[in-house]
Amino acid sequence: MVPQLSTSDEVSQLHKMCLLVRAAKRLLFALPILLFMGGPHFASAQNPDFDRLVEPLTAIDQQFMRDQRIRVEQLANRLGRNLSGAADRDVETLQRMLDERLVAPTDTLTLQAMGVVFGDLLGSRLDMDWVVYRDKKGRSRALRYREMEVYLFPVTMISRRHESGSDRRLKPLFDEIVHDTRLLLPGGKWFQ
């Protein structure tokens, strides 16, 4: 006769403990490899002394920004308009959204969605691309001119002004940002 295997709690708990120990050993073995393969991005982001880290947009950032653009397009449709990519027309559309109070000052998400569209227009005019910008203050989506240290943070440009009650018009703001940023770009003195 074959002796019966024990199925008591002590044995199953011991077995669980062995599995946990093995998993911990694997993790400890793999951690240095993961850190090495993660490269400078992972290491510098964890270092409290890092000044700035600039990375491409993640797939999640791209999807979130697409959703924000759709939100603004739907508001434009309520005005009988669409977003065309033409800076003057679209800035005027964004201004009408504010003037007609389609967005409450407390609706930060929609105001920031408008900032994404505003940023698309700035990026198109200034040949800038969206990136993820991290510093000691946190993580932001920003526009960067090529590989230079020229950044704009348009996502909050409209929301901060509107939430604080500012009545500054978007067209002069757009023109001022374009003018001031061009001065920082190569050959900028020719834009004066």
Strand partners, 52: 135
* Separation CA 116–CA 154 (nearest Å): 7
* Separation CA 66–CA 121 (nearest Å): 14
Chain length of the chain: 192
Residue 2 maps to a domain: no
Amino acid 24: pLDDT: 52
Residues 108 and 42 in one domain: no
Alpha helices in the chain (DSSP H): 9-46, 59-78, 87-99, 108-126, 157-163, 170-182
| 3 state DSSP class of 132 | strand
Which residues span the domain enclosing 158? 53-191
pLDDT at 81 over 90: yes
Residues 16 and 45 in one domain: yes
* 34-43, 123-132, 162-171, 182-191: which is most confident: 123-132
Residues 21 and 67 in one domain: no
Calculate what percentage of the chain has a pLDDT beyond 90: 67
Residue, of 97 and 16, whose pLDDT is higher: 97
Amino acid 30: pLDDT: 46
DSSP annotation of 149: S
Residues 136 and 87 in one domain: yes
Residues 37 and 108 in one domain: no
Amino acid 188: pLDDT: 75
Residues 16 and 36 in one domain: yes
pLDDT tens per residue, range 34-69: 334 444 444 444 555 568 999 999 999 999 999 999
pLDDT at 153 over 90: yes
Residues 90 and 106 in one domain: yes
Residue, of 130 and 192, whose pLDDT is higher: 130
Which of 85-89, 95-99, 163-167, 175-179 has the weakest average pLDDT?
163-167
Residues 67 and 144 in one domain: yes
Mean pLDDT of the chain: 83
Amino acid 32: pLDDT: 44
Residues 91 and 168 in one domain: yes
Long-range contacts of range 31-35, CB-CB < 8 Å, 24 or more positions apart? none
Q: What's the pTM?
A: 0.73
Count how many Cα atoms sit within 13 Å of the Cα of residue 116 in the half-sphere of its side chain. Answer: 23
Residue 145 maps to a domain: yes
pLDDT at 124 over 50: yes
Q: Strand 129-135's sheet: what is its strand order? A: 52-55, 129-135, 138-144, 151-152
Residues 149 and 166 in one domain: yes
Amino acid 56: pLDDT: 98
Residue 142 maps to a domain: yes
Classify the C-alpha dihedral 111-115-117-121 as positive or negative.
positive
The CATH number for 80's domain is: 1.20.120.1090
- Look up residue 109 and give its two tokens: 């998400």
Residues 34 and 57 in one domain: no
Residues 93 and 40 in one domain: no
- Provide the number of structural domains found in the chain: 2
Residue 83 maps to a domain: yes
| 3 state DSSP class of 148 | coil
